[in-house]
Amino acid sequence: MSQGGLEADRRAMVHALALGRRGMGQTWPNPAVGCVLVREGRIVGRGWTQPGGRPHAETQALAMAGDAARGATAYVTLEPCAHHGQTPPCVDALIDAGIARVVAPLADSDPRVSGQGFDRLRAAGIAVETGVMADVAMRDHAGFFLRIEQGRPFVTLKLALSLDGRIATATGESRWITGPAARRAVHALRARHDAVMVGGGTARADNPALTVRGLGVARQPVRVVATRFLDVPLMGQLAQTARDIPVWLLHGPGVRAETARAWEGLGATLLPVAKAGGRIDPSDMLQALGAQGLTRVFCEGGGQLAASLLAADLVDELHVFTAGVALGAEGVPGLGALGVEKLSLAPRLTLVDSSVEGGDLHHVWRRRTGD
């Protein structure tokens, strides 16, 4: 391929990836895919996976293009599906539309698809090219791949801290450490995840709604609370809105039957998980969420839940919002006990972005995959 052709492919794939991100948080358990159709240098169709996981991106783009799809190149951010689910395979739609070439960065690791979509396209005489923007696509689809390959969702942890790493005063006051711009950024992050999760202590202390507000999302994230004993107030916002927006409670064994019945009566879903060290096991917790179809979970603390995920090396991305306020040693620390005795054993992450949100700093860190 010529350099000009490669650059054109990259530009089109950047567009397709941007479209795919519009579906983040809306499409689980399906991946958030984007698709752009280009014919003779002109975009004739585009689409992305719709809320609930269907229609798929390819069929959206083909519907827009109509007859102009014949002879076009389809830029798709993941291998087109080749299996019959609730909708026919996307490869059949691409073949029937007369697509001449398909460019996709990655194969789908779902065993129902993996390589079969590409094979069927090639068998139909369609040119297939892979690898374009593969590193970016891998990040975008990380949650989908993690659920398929490891049974757990991608985990984003958010911490809103004072300059000295506190999340509340000694009396528990925490609203608001960061300013309005940072809080808007947090709502945007919530919107790009399938679920928002907090620990039981945070649910009791803050009575949060855990919804996305001000962005007009089609599908609110699931609200998840990790609470060993189900001791979250039944008159709180989460309980009283559980029939309108899903509430899932991850709890340990041996909870009181009447408490469990009360929560189920309010419309909540109860997910029992194992204990480890007297607390809910973080790995089993994520396995339970993955089994329910979640691919991306946004954890907002508190400190002990955040520490347990970090200690178990289960935080894939960390967003830290730091405000210009100092609360002192008597304030509540942003992280619970980690049990770190040597610096060499402390969790370490890699800084990938830094920005300013109003008067607050926003740092993005990712888990290290090797040194």
CA-CA distance, 120 to 355, in Å (whole number)? 45
Rounded-to-integer distance, Cα 311 and Cα 263, Å: 30
CATH 3.40.930.10 is right for the domain spanning 151-367: no
Q: Give the confidence band of 112 by pLDDT, cuts at 50, 70, 90.
A: confident
How far apart CA 194 and CA 232 sit, in angstroms, is 22
Q: Domain coordinates of the chain in residue numbers?
A: 3-142, 151-367
Write out pLDDT tens, residues 169-196: 888 888 889 999 999 999 999 999 999 9
**What is the reported pLDDT for 2?**
46
CATH architecture assignment, domain 3-142:
3-Layer(aba) Sandwich (3.40)
272 DSSP β-pair partners: 251
**pLDDT on residue 147:** 96
Catalytic residue positions? 58
Greatest CA span in the chain, whole angstroms?
Answer: 69
CB 77 within 8 A of CB 33: yes
Q: How far apart are CA 95 and CA 357, in angstroms?
A: 46
pLDDT value, residue 82: 82
* Rounded mean pLDDT, 149-160: 97
Average pLDDT on 223-234 reads 95
Task: Note the pLDDT of residue 108.
Answer: 85
In this predicted model, what pLDDT tens digit does every residue of 283-332 receive, in sequence order?
999 999 999 999 999 999 889 999 999 999 999 999 999 999 999 999 99
Which of residues 97 and 86 earns the better pLDDT score? Answer: 97
Sequence-ordered list of residues with C-beta below 8 angstroms from that of 27, at least 6 positions apart, any chain? 49, 50, 51, 52, 53
Q: Is the pLDDT of residue 49 over 60?
A: yes
Mean of all residue pLDDT scores within the chain: 93
Q: What is the pLDDT of residues 243-285, one digit of tens each?
A: 999 999 999 998 999 999 999 999 999 999 999 888 899 999 9
Q: How far apart are CA 65 and CA 46, in angstroms?
A: 8
pLDDT at position 4: 52
Angle, helices 282-291/303-311, rounded to nearest 10 degrees: 90
Taking the C-alpha atoms of residue 263 and residue 277, their distance in angstroms, rounded to an integer, is: 26
> Which residue reads 């519009």 in tokens?
22
Residue 188 is which amino acid? A
**What's the rounded mean pLDDT across residues 145-150?**
95
pLDDT at 371 over 60: no
The pTM (predicted TM-score) of the whole model is 0.93
